[in-house]
Structure 1
Amino acid sequence: RIHLIDFKVRVLDSTADTGAVTRVLIDSTNGDDTWTTIGVSPNIIEASWMALIDAVVFGLLLAGS
């Protein structure tokens, strides 16, 4: 099982108005290991999705090893 521990959002360039870049960090665990994944995009949903997909893929890789 993979659990989300923490979800952080940060705007990297707040002076760019709508062109600002968003960074999302997701901390996850499987109960034994903990890892952090990152998504970066001007679109917060896309950045979140990228970080979430990487978290799940990494968790599955750990489970298979």
Structure 2
Amino acid sequence: MEKSYKLLNLSLTVFLVVYTISGQVTAQEYFNNFPKPKNGNTYVIAHRGVHNDIPENTLAAYQKAIDL
């Protein structure tokens, strides 16, 4: 009985390791999918941090992002 638990534990461990590694991508592969920046090497990105307090895509939202 204990031997079957050890085999099951080993099998699950190997499966999880292989599953985890197979889903990994390198940073270079990840960034190759990004659109190329229009101005040099600068990317302009945003998040929805205060979208409940300030309407998105407004001057107030941009100012809040700068203030943060």
Q: Same fold (TM over 0.5)?
A: no
TM-score by length of 1: 0.30
Structure with more of its chain in helix, by fraction: 2
TM-score by length of 2: 0.29
Structure with more of its chain in strand, by fraction: 1
Larger Rg, first or second structure (1 or 2): 2
Q: Which fold has the larger relative contact order, with Cα–Cα distance below 8 Å and residues 6 or more apart in sequence?
A: 1
